[in-house]
Every structure is written in structure tokens, then in C-alpha cells.
Chains A and B, each alone.
Chain A
Amino acid sequence: MSGRLEVWLFAAQRLSAMILAPLVLLHLATMIYAVQDGLSAAEILGRTRGSVFWGGLYALFIAAASVHGAIGLRAVLREWTPLRGAGVVAMAFCVAILALGWRAVAAIT
């Protein structure tokens, strides 16, 4: 284990958290507003299709969540399980979230 790597991961985890906090707050507010009359594809897509604002926001959300989730998963695996290769699992998670996430953003914008 490299001490330098741990410092970078610590910094990336906190930086991604600072990006995520306001985005999550906005996401919570949007959800509470959007479910009032029930959800439909037309309602969701009416808000997001062609919107640079929502597309950019969700793309940033995905990037930050992929990094944040991967580092958190690595910590949980290393500290709470005897599994080796937590770093590999974390990297796979990060790539999977980026791929699934940006595909989802492309689908709704």
C-alpha cells in the first residue's frame, strides 16, 4: 500500500463529496417536486431532452459519483472483508458507473 496513493484517494473522496453534496440536494428537491403528479417518461424527458443544463449537471453527477462510490467501496472491502483486490473491484465499479451513467444521460437528453 502506498501512502501517497492513500492521500490522493482521501483528497479525491472529499473533493467528490463537495461536488456531490449540492447535486444531491438538487436531486432530492427535483424528485420531491417531480413525483407529485406521478412519474412518466414524457414528464421526465420533457424536463431533460435538449437541456444542456440538466445534461451537464447529470454528467458531472455521474463523474463525481463514480469516483466517490469506487473509493468508498474500496474502503469498505479493505476494512470489513478479508477480500483481496479491493482496488480492482473499485476500478471496475468506477468504469461501470461511468459507462452506465453517461449512457443514461445520453438517453434522457
Chain B
Amino acid sequence: MSIFPAHRNHPIYWAFVLHRLSGLALALFLPVHLYVLSLAIGDGGKLDEFLDWTANPWVKAAEVTLVVLLALHMAGGLRVLALEFLPWRDNQKTLAAFAGATALGFGVLYLLNVV
């Protein structure tokens, strides 16, 4: 059975899938992120060695992707909270689009500042 049958091919279902996948990616990234920060123990020399590596354009591209995923998960999560805790509104697809736009906006802002 496909996990994407025709009746699920809907913007809000895709918003759900993106929310899950972005959350999963962030959960896998988080231990690595925290480990790298702990390299600052002492004078931060080891952290600087790592930060030099992040000057690589491929690493910057990965950073932009992570920023987009983080912003997407936050904005998508606010959409879920609004859906569950605020009175029903008919513009659910607009809220999902706003979440996507927010994520891309943060990605562009980060990209413009990191290069």
C-alpha cells in the first residue's frame, strides 16, 4: 500500500508530511549540534577548528537547509496549534502556505547573511 494514495494528495496532508520529516531531520541533527557546541569547553580552540570547516560552501548549503527545516517546523507547528486550540477557520491552506513562505523567508535571510 502506498503511503500517498490519491485521497491523501492534498496540501494539508503534505503540510503534515513536511512537518514530520522536518521534525525527524531536526531530531537527528540535534545531538550532533550539541556535541559540536560542547567543543567550546576550555578556550574554544577545538570549536574554532570545526568552525573553519563550516566555511565550505557545501556546509553553508547544509546550514541553509537546516534553517529552512527549523523555520518550517516552527511555523508548521504554530499552524497545528492554531488548528487545535483556536476556533475553526476556513483558510487552512492559506495558513499552510504562510508556514511554507515563513520557512523560505528565513532560509533566504540566512543565505544572504552567511555568504
Residues of A whose CB lies within 8 Å of any CB of B are 14, 17-18, 20-21, 24-25, 27-28, 31-33, 35-36, 38-42, 44-45, 62, 65, 69, 72-73, 76, 80, 93, 96-97, 100-101, 103-104, 106-108
For B54, the chain A residues whose CB sits under 8 A away are 39
The reply to whether B34 and A97 form a contact with Cβ atoms under 8 Å apart is yes
Residues of A within 8 A of B37 (CB): 104, 107-108
B30 near A97: Cβ-Cβ < 8 Å: yes
Size category of the B interface is 35 or more
CA distance A35 to B54 in the complex (A): 11
Q: Contacts A28-B106, A93-B27 given: A107-B40 contact, CB under 8 Å?
A: yes
Determine chain B's interface SS by DSSP, over half rule. helix
Shortest CB-to-CB span from A90 to chain B, Å, is 10
Give the number of A-B contacts (CB < 8 Å): 96
Instruction: Report the Cα distance A21→B44, complex, angstroms.
Output: 29
Say whether A28 contacts B81, CB under 8 Å: no
B73 neighbours in A (Cβ, 8 Å)? 24
Q: Are A31 and B110 in contact (CB under 8 A)?
A: yes
Among B4-12, B18-26, B90-98, the one that faces the other chain is B18-26
Are the C-beta atoms of A72 and B23 separated by less than 8 Å? Answer: yes
| Closest chain B residue to A35, Cβ basis | B114
Interfacial chain A residues near B57, Cβ < 8 Å: none
B70 within 8 Å of A by Cβ? yes
- Tell me whether A107 and B38 are in contact (CB under 8 A): yes
Within the complex, what minimum Cβ distance (angstroms) separates B93 from chain A?
A: 21
A82 to chain B, nearest CB (A): 14
Does the CB pair B27–A69 fall under 8 Å? yes
* Further 13 A-B residue pairs, CB within 8 A, beyond A41-B48, A69-B23: A21-B77, A28-B70, A28-B71, A32-B109, A32-B110, A40-B48, A42-B44, A44-B47, A65-B30, A104-B35, A107-B37, A107-B39, A108-B37
